[in-house]
Amino acid sequence: MDNSTYFTTVILTGYIDIGDIKYLCFVVLILLFAAIIVANLFIIGIIYKEKSLHEPMYVFLCSLCANQLCGSFALFPFVLGNMLRSKTPEVPLTVCHAQIFALYSYAQVEFCNLAMMSYDRYVAICHPLEYHRIMSPARTMTLIALGWSLEIMILSFSFSVNVQLKFCGNVLDKVWCDQYMLVKLACSDTTPNNIIGITGIPLAIGPPLLIIFFSYAKILRVCLKFTRQKAKKSLYTCSLHLITLLNFTVGCSFELIQSRFGKLPIPAVVRVILSLYFLVCPPLINPIMYGVSLTNIKKALKKCIGV
């Protein structure tokens, strides 16, 4: 095939499915975007300002919120801009690749943040006397730096292979760019991409998931030896993290089922909403949930406003 016939743009037909309610969706999304920015910056600002919150648990929470802001800025301006177009959005391939890199980085770093938070709870519950030695400020920052850098390095390797593909098709039934669906449109050899996909995803999210499983297995084992009241208190400190983990993994499962196994037999608008769930709901719900539930954050807020 001649190089001139290869596509250099991507058409996102998911916006057609939204139909006449796109303006309502636009208003809802811009309100959600504003709420996500305010909520996450609020948590980061309170923790930064209040020195009593400079503990590993809250530092990891800051990392979680920062990553959620990165993911939101990679999604919302893109979707909102395309909604205002009078015709089906046609996006340059370079922009599509950049969004894929940003959104997949968000997803992989999110798993890493959740793993670090679960490890922090494991040390706090299973080794309380050694907590401050094990989770020193230097080690906490090292874990965060390693988590972010390793996940982005793994994704960068996959990204360097994907950008070399040639495309004989350019229609994606999405409202944002998806790597799996984009690779399916390639007419060049996708064997390296498939190999990287099979090995890279387990390498990226496998270790974080193992750390989460290990941490909670140890926590549960230790809690069985506690008194009922102490076990209840210990497990309560993990409840917010477990809700965060469940919320994100359920959202990722929605997207995985849709993109890998074809369209679900549900209305188009609902399908679009489900594809956005893991990109919208966790960044919105998590900071609100932690802000409302954590006593120390509420105390810090009252101190800041002089109540």
Domains and CATH numbers, the chain: 3-305 (1.20.1070.10)
Least confident window among 30-39, 71-80, 246-255, 257-266: 257-266
Q: Are 121 and 90 in contact (CB under 8 A)?
A: no
Q: Contact, 130 vs 169, CB < 8 A?
A: no
Has residue 251 got a pLDDT over 90?
Answer: no
pLDDT band (50, 70, 90) for residue 250 = confident
C-beta separation of 271 from 17 below 8 A? yes
- Report how far residue 274's alpha carbon sits from residue 268's, in angstroms, rounded to the nearest whole number: 10
Phi, psi of 61, deg, nearest 5: -65, -40
Residue 208: predicted pLDDT: 92
Specify the range with the lowest mean pLDDT, choosing from 42-56, 76-90, 101-115, 117-131: 76-90
- Is the confidence at residue 302, as pLDDT, over 90? no
pLDDT bucket at 192, cuts 50 / 70 / 90? confident
Reply yes or no on whether the pLDDT at 31 is more than 60: yes
Q: What does pTM read for this prediction?
A: 0.90
- Average pLDDT of span 109-115: 94
Tokens read off for 11: 């058409």
Q: How far apart are CA 54 and CA 49, in angstroms?
A: 9
Distance, in Å, from the CA atom of 11 to the CA atom of 33, rounded to the nearest integer, reads 24
203-231: pLDDT as tens digits: 888 899 999 999 999 998 888 888 788 77
> CA-to-CA distance for 55 and 278, rounded, in angstroms?
28
